[in-house]
Structure 1
């Protein structure tokens, strides 16, 4: 399974305002999910297994692929290209408004 991911926060419970930051992004969920057929997965709390960090994340996944099978690499690369660009494009539409709200 491969994930196109936006980590938006670390040490979630050590800094109270991280919940607020996540909620601000959630206000723009419709814009951020534009172009994602099945929407995105919004997860306020996730413990990263590789580093033990607490993070918030917004992501989509590609299932039924195996990185070790070269014949699937084009599908995996296309998934990353398409979804990373879409997520970035969507975020850029709300970036300035989100920055203002975070300063607010």
Structure 2
């Protein structure tokens, strides 16, 4: 048992993943702040024009998808590193509502 723990603690891949998890946890926090900015912009746009701004909708959808990628990685559901280590639209199977 102790040998297994020692082996696990010395695996470089585990420590690399922990490092990337910390990096993406910080990036995720920044992205969530950006999502709040998108929310406020969309509310302002809706109040002023009476309809949602399609550019802000697309940007918000893109940020939401990116947050999803980060959460999949942080929860060990995927080994694929999120952007910038992979494509921005990594999750093709994610079904987003159509406009």
Calculate the TM-score normalised by the size of structure 1: 0.33
**Which structure carries more helix by proportion?**
2
Calculate the TM-score normalised by the size of structure 2: 0.34
Select the structure with the greater relative contact order (CA < 8 A; seq sep ≥ 6). Answer: 1
**Which structure carries more strand by proportion?**
1
Report which of the two structures shows the higher radius of gyration computed on alpha carbons: 2
